[in-house]
Amino acid sequence: MEQALTGGASPASGVRMLPTYVGSTPHGNEQGNFVVLELGASGASLRVLWVTLTGIKGQRVEPKSQEFVIPQEVVLGTGQQLFDFAARCLSEFLDAHSVGSQGLQLGFNFSFPCHQTSLDRSTLISWTKGFRCSGVEGQDVVQLLREAIQRQGGYSIEVVAVVNDTVGTMMGCEPAVGPCEIGLVVDTGTNACYMEEARHVAVLDEDRGRTCISIEWGSFNDDRALGPVLTTFDHALDHASLNPGAQRFEKMIGGLYLGELVRLVLVHLAQNRVLFGGYTSPALLSQGSILLEHVTEMEDPSSGVARVHAILQDLGLSPETSDAELVQRVCAAVCSRAAQLCAAALVAILSHLQHSREQQTLQVAVATGGRVLERHPRFQSILQETVTLLASECDVSFVPSVDGGGRGVAMVTAVAARLAYHRRLLEKTLAPFRLSCEQLAAVRTQMRDAMAKGLRGEPSSLRMLPTYIRATPDGSERGDFLALDLGGTNFRVLLVRVTEGGVQIINQIYSIPESVAQGSGQKLFDHIVDCIVDFQEKQGLRGQSLPLGFTFSFPCKQLGLDQGILLNWTKGFNASGCEGQDVVYLLREAIRRKQAMELNVVAIVNDTVGTMMSCGYEDPRCEMGLIVGTGTNACYMEELRNVAGVPGDSGHMCINMEWGAFGDDGSLGMLSTCFDEMVDQASINPGKQRFEKMISGMYLGEIVRHILLHLTSLGVLFRGQQTQRLQTRDIFKTKFLSEIESDSLALRQVRAILEDLGLSLTSDDALIVLEVCQAVSRRAAQLCGAGVAAVVEKIRENRGLEELTVSVGVDGTLYKVHPHFASLVAATVRELAPRCVVTFLQSEDGSGKGAALVTAVACRLARV
């Protein structure tokens, strides 16, 4: 068991320890009407049940049920025959019981070893118990049943769960004390399941809670353990069976085999003249002529002897009384061994639970089911006595299942139905975030239109601002420069030394308190100058007049390299008295107020431009700058002839697109979701920066938070419990998306992040939160990719090239930190601009270096 749980199982040991995706014992509040289809629990028969769960503890409605015998040619036929037979029986039952034909939810009780990957997806490993339908092993049996129901027609039945009979038995029992945590079935076959600590199940990435494991102990065949107990009769039976070498443990316990074992022993004794005077009848010699029922009847303490005679006579024998007694003893021996072996296996579970729960005295209830346990006169008692013998310190109560697990299957189906319903609600909620290639291509085309309009100076949500940067650095720049970098997560002051050998940077990060970012402009620029002066003092630069480049990451209409009119604040900044002003003038005014006269502001650049220049210094093919951080934006080298309002029609001009505002004219309305509307309405600039609010770090966490609140209100998440914390604005940081989506982070860490937010959650909740994060970040990356595709296609067409090779300088925390963002952007660009070979260069030194390089170019040009 432990080997198989840790995934280190050697096939030799045989037990499979299969996860069933049943994560909890019944809550008792499951309710609804369910169809249950049972296949394989009790031999070549199939049972259909109609189970009503009241959701009220102890209030039970007797299930309606009907049994159908499966013809042998079907049991040994094709899988399609078997599942069509099942679908016909279903219809027959539903016709007979008029329970409606629409929206029926079915739980499939399929009692064979299966690899389950969810409550409604299960692949058959191998047939047991005399079944051998072709074309089913290795297949998803739920899919096979769905197809058969489809072929049958007449009823809309949704198969929402597949359950092993042991699980149904465990889930269906209602012991006086505490839930049953072990399910034991001894019918034609035998098996058990139990509630294991999820952290012990290697295949389940879980660290909390319990999960139900189907042991499939029927295939236990560890030679060291079984070798000594296997008899020649067991080997003979196995040899003649449909699956020699398989299910060796089951073949010593299961009802399908007990009769045959007895027969083989009787034949042996007869052939050795111990029984029936050495006479063997053809019937006695024919395989399968003694059934479980016969053995059970022959062992019946009251009518056993009479039955022995009757049964042996039916087999063409004329038993003496002594023969009858001996036959009873053979039955007793075979069945006692079966019960004792079953008990030994059960004790293995008990000691494992004792050990894993560190409990000296384990108290546990075992739900039992199956005709051997229900009908054999002594099996149950021998089982219990042996368990008490082998596990005296355990307090084990046995709870016979009342309806063969039908209710239990219905309970699992109820849970699965709830999860399936939640899944549909989740899909419905996330569907608007799943953008098709057509939708992304439409965004690319719309952005192209808006670019063209903006360049022509016509009304457009893309302002396409000329930056007066005509060239990227040519490497001849030299000197020391001060640079400021305002507008990202951090405000930095940098000293940039540009030499033959390259660029050295010393920088210091300063904070911009929200009160300053949203206070007066004068306070903001005074604060900036204070930081510069502090930096100069620390770097021993006071009194030195170094040219200064100012990365100002907000939309500015530049009138020159050192003149930029702030059009509007973004990203949570809102300092008064700045919009419409030349921010270089505002800085110079602050410098004057602070008498820091040696500061010489030479250039103001946008962070996209600084990033392009910084990367262009290493790679001259870098002609686009992209920021995906707190905000998002892009710039690129446009043909001057295409830039209205700037004289000249040869050469290039770097254009700051300010694409964060793309869609502010409503052109992105078709993509905007109610969650985007909520984030926009709650922002300090509603209606503005709509593209940015779907993409950048300042907003993704908020979009996710609103979706989580919505899903909680639908009961899909956190059992519908809204928590105060989650209703707190900005409490779900965008960095959580990067953490939660990181491949190396197991679900348990996802849980840790969310528990820090005061959320108590299940593993299903953690999975759903992960999916929400993935949907939101994927859309952001794809929209960003559609924007980049529009720009590189523009550059390619500008130059009339069949194919364009270009590099894009990128910066921004979201792009750099998120585990999948960059690759999703690149994949979208490949899809939407297949004739452009685009290399994304992550800027190492930020755009401060770029600002210094722009200043260096300006100084070089000023010297000629």
Q: Which stretch binds ligand G6P (CB under 6 A): 214-222, 352-360, 559-567, 808-816?
A: 808-816
Instruction: Reply yes or no on whether 356 is catalytic.
Output: no
> Minimum distance from CB of 698 to ligand BGC (Å)?
8
Q: Looking at residue 9, what DSSP letter applies?
A: -
Residue 488 engages ligand G6P in binding (rule: CB under 6 A): yes
Q: Which helix (H) or strand (E) holds 801?
A: none
Q: Do the Cβ atoms of 311 and 298 come closer than 8 Å?
A: yes
Using CB under 6 A as the binding rule, the residues of this chain from 242 to 281 that contact ligand BGC are 250
812 Rama sector, left if φ>0, alpha if ψ -120 to 50, beta otherwise: left
> Minimum distance from CB of 215 to ligand BGC (Å)?
9
- Give the type of residue at 391: A
Q: How many residues bind ligand BGC (CB under 6 A)?
A: 35
Binding residue (CB under 6 A) for ligand BGC from 610, 631, 846, 850: 631
Q: Strands, DSSP E only, in 511-651?
A: 547-552, 556-560, 563-566, 600-605, 622-628, 632-639
The tokens of 140 are what?
């998803």
Q: How many residues bind ligand G6P (CB under 6 A)?
A: 18
Residue 855 engages ligand G6P in binding (rule: CB under 6 A): no
Phi, psi of 653 (to 5 degrees): -140, 135
Residue 194 engages ligand BGC in binding (rule: CB under 6 A): no
Angle of the 846-863 helix axis to the 607-616 helix axis, nearest 10: 80
| Pairing relationship of beta strands 104-110 and 31-39 according to DSSP bridges | parallel
CA dihedral 539, 541, 547, 548 (to 10 degrees): 40
Nearer to ligand G6P, 107 or 846 (CB): 846
Using CB under 6 A as the binding rule, the residues of this chain from 811 to 830 that contact ligand G6P are 811-813
461 binds, among ligand G6P, ligand BGC, none (CB under 5 to 8 A by kind): none
Burial 810-836 (b: 16+ CB within 10 A, else e): bbbbbbebbbbbbebbbebbebbbeeb
30 binds, among ligand G6P, ligand BGC, none (CB under 5 to 8 A by kind): none
Nearest to 857 by CA among 615, 498, 487, 493: 498
554 binds, among ligand BGC, ligand G6P, none (CB under 5 to 8 A by kind): ligand BGC
Nearer to ligand BGC, 67 or 756 (CB): 67
Binding residue (CB under 6 A) for ligand G6P from 615, 848, 853, 856: 848
Nearest to 192 by CA among 271, 83, 111, 255: 111
What sign does the dihedral 812-813-817-818 (CA atoms) show?
A: negative
Residue 494 engages ligand G6P in binding (rule: CB under 6 A): no
Burial 687-722 (b: 16+ CB within 10 A, else e): ebbbbbbbbbbbbbbbbbbbbbbbbbeeebbbeeee
- Give the type of residue at 196: E
Residue 846 engages ligand G6P in binding (rule: CB under 6 A): yes
The active-site residue, picked from 120, 485, 607, 811, is 607
Classified as helix, coil or strand, 609 is helix
Q: Do the Cβ atoms of 166 and 192 come closer than 8 Å?
A: yes
Alpha helices by DSSP H, listed for 276-393, are: 282-285, 292-298, 304-314, 321-356, 371-375, 379-390
The tokens of 149 are what?
């129901």
| Pairing relationship of beta strands 547-552 and 600-605 according to DSSP bridges | parallel
Residue 787 engages ligand G6P in binding (rule: CB under 6 A): no
Binding residue (CB under 6 A) for ligand G6P from 40, 77, 454, 487: 487
467 binds, among ligand BGC, ligand G6P, none (CB under 5 to 8 A by kind): none
Q: Do the Cβ atoms of 632 and 696 come closer than 8 Å?
A: yes
Build a one-symbol-per-residue string for 549-588: x at contacts with ligand G6P by CB under 6 A, - elsewhere.
--x-x-----------------------------------
768 binds, among ligand G6P, ligand BGC, none (CB under 5 to 8 A by kind): none
The active-site residue, picked from 214, 553, 696, 843, is 553
Residue 183 engages ligand G6P in binding (rule: CB under 6 A): no
Q: For residues 651 and 639, what is the distance between their CA atoms, to the nearest angstrom?
A: 6
Binding residue (CB under 6 A) for ligand BGC from 607, 664, 702, 793: 607
The active-site residue, picked from 146, 371, 492, 705, is 492
How far CA 179 is from CA of 26, 171, 293, 399, in Å, comes to 8, 8, 32, 10
> Minimum distance from CB of 364 to ligand G6P (Å)?
54
Q: Which stretch binds ligand BGC (CB under 6 A): 381-389, 518-526, 552-560, 713-721?
A: 552-560
738 binds, among ligand BGC, ligand G6P, none (CB under 5 to 8 A by kind): none
Q: Residue 254: which residues within 8 A CB-CB, separation 6 or more?
A: 129, 186, 187, 188, 189, 190, 218, 247, 372
Build a one-symbol-per-residue string for 451-490: x at contacts with ligand BGC by CB under 6 A, - elsewhere.
------------------------------------xx--
Using CB under 6 A as the binding rule, the residues of this chain from 619 to 638 that contact ligand G6P are 627, 629-630
Tally Cβ neighbours within 10 Å of residue 124: 20
Classified as helix, coil or strand, 54 is strand
> Minimum distance from CB of 218 to ligand BGC (Å)?
4
Which residue, judged by CB position, is nearest to ligand G6P in the bound state? Answer: 629
Q: For residues 399 and 182, what is the distance between their CA atoms, to the nearest angstrom?
A: 10
Side by side, which strands form the sheet with 64-69? 64-69, 45-54, 31-39, 104-110, 157-163
Residue 555 engages ligand BGC in binding (rule: CB under 6 A): yes
Nearer to ligand G6P, 260 or 811 (CB): 811
Nearer to ligand G6P, 315 or 505 (CB): 505
Nearer to ligand BGC, 335 or 634 (CB): 634
> Minimum distance from CB of 812 to ligand G6P (Å)?
4
Q: For residues 406 and 273, what is the distance between their CA atoms, to the nearest angstrom?
A: 47
Residue 570 engages ligand BGC in binding (rule: CB under 6 A): yes
> Minimum distance from CB of 635 to ligand BGC (Å)?
8
848 binds, among ligand G6P, ligand BGC, none (CB under 5 to 8 A by kind): ligand G6P
Instruction: Reply yes or no on whether 760 is catalytic.
Output: no
Nearer to ligand BGC, 40 or 304 (CB): 40
The tokens of 415 are what?
């849970």
Instruction: Reply yes or no on whether 397 is catalytic.
Output: no
Nearest to 624 by CA among 855, 843, 452, 828: 843
281 binds, among ligand BGC, ligand G6P, none (CB under 5 to 8 A by kind): none
129 binds, among ligand G6P, ligand BGC, none (CB under 5 to 8 A by kind): ligand BGC
Using CB under 6 A as the binding rule, the residues of this chain from 158 to 177 that contact ligand BGC are 164-166
**395 - beta bridge partners?**
363
Which residues would be at the binding site for ligand G6P (CB under 6 A)? 485, 487-489, 551, 553, 607, 610, 627, 629-630, 697, 811-813, 846-848
- Residues in contact with ligand BGC by the rule CB under 6 A: 41, 111-113, 128-129, 164-166, 185, 187, 189-191, 216, 218, 250, 487-488, 553-555, 570-571, 606-608, 627, 629, 631-633, 658, 660, 692
Known catalytic residues are 492, 553, 607
